[in-house]
């Protein structure tokens, strides 16, 4: 177990799975930014993977049901127009989702994105579990995500793990999962990617509110 935790902590220093100090949104802001995707209910597992070693560095889960959020345990993502409460990112519009994946994909890491269609009931259970999780300790991103998934009906076969790639491999075995990879070759500095995408989202928001 100690070896696992050390590996996760090392990954956290470069990929954003660390203790989070993101500002906490109030209920009014969350409601005002809430977004519901018009498509079917889905769960989308994000796994950030090193382009150099193939090891996993961060895990998160987008839940699309009565609203669309990203459970980003111990994550680093911040954007002015994306409210955060504990480790749940709210208001995940298509633009916000693009900003999320783009911020993590860079020269040193790519995003493996795995999506499965679920029932509205399954999505709602996942959504409530995410909201109830509270802040997750650094390096426990995959542990928290796998624990959440295991509690969703139909995903009981998921084994709780600390390893992002192992969770991704388990998720891939579920019938109906569609997998894609998202890559960018920009600067390795995560903070630069976060700042650039925050600026783009602010610009889009300014145009939409004119």
Q: Are 148 and 83 in contact (CB under 8 A)?
A: no
pLDDT in tens, 144-201: 999 999 999 999 999 999 999 999 999 999 999 999 999 999 999 999 999 999 999 9
Give the list of residues 6+ apart from residue 181 with CB closer than 8 angstroms, or none.
Answer: 110, 111, 112, 113
Query: Dihedral of the CA atoms 118, 122, 125, 130 (nearest 10)?
Result: -20
Tokens of 41: 């209910």
Q: Is residue 5 within a helix (H) or strand (E), and if so which, with residue range? A: helix 2-15
- What is the structure's pLDDT at 64? 98
Tokens of 24: 């906490």
Tokens of 72: 């980003």
Can you give the pTM of this predicted structure?
A: 0.91
| CA–CA gap between residue 22 and residue 46 (Å, rounded) | 20
Q: Which of 14-23, 111-120, 141-150 has the lowest mean pLDDT?
A: 14-23
> DSSP letter at 23?
P
74 torsion bin: left (phi>0), alpha (psi -120 to 50), beta (else): left
SS3 state at 107: coil
pLDDT in tens, 69-112: 999 999 999 999 999 999 999 999 999 999 999 999 999 999 99
37 torsion bin: left (phi>0), alpha (psi -120 to 50), beta (else): beta
């Amino acid at each position: 177990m100690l070896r696992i935790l050390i590996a996760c902590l090392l990954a956290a220093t470069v990929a954003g799975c660390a203790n989070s100090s993101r500002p906490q949104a109030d209920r009014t802001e969350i409601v005002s930014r809430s977004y519901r995707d018009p498509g079917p209910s889905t769960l989308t597992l994000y796994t950030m993977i090193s382009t150099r070693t193939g090891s996993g560095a961060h895990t998160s889960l987008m839940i699309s049901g009565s609203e669309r959020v990203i459970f980003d345990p111990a994550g680093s993502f911040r954007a002015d127009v994306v409210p955060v409460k504990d480790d749940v990112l709210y208001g995940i519009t298509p633009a916000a989702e693009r900003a999320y994946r783009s911020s993590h994909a860079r020269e040193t890491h790519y995003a493996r994105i795995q999506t499965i269609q679920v029932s509205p009931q399954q999505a709602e259970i996942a959504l409530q579990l995410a909201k109830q999780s509270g802040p997750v300790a650094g390096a426990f991103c995959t542990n928290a995500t796998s624990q959440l998934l295991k509690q969703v009906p139909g995903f009981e076969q998921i084994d709780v793990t600390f390893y992002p790639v192992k969770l991704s491999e388990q998720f891939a075995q579920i019938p109906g999962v569609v997998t894609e990879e998202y890559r960018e070759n920009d600067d390795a500095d995560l903070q630069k990617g976060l700042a650039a995408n925050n600026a783009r989202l602010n610009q889009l928001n300014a145009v939409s509110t004119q």
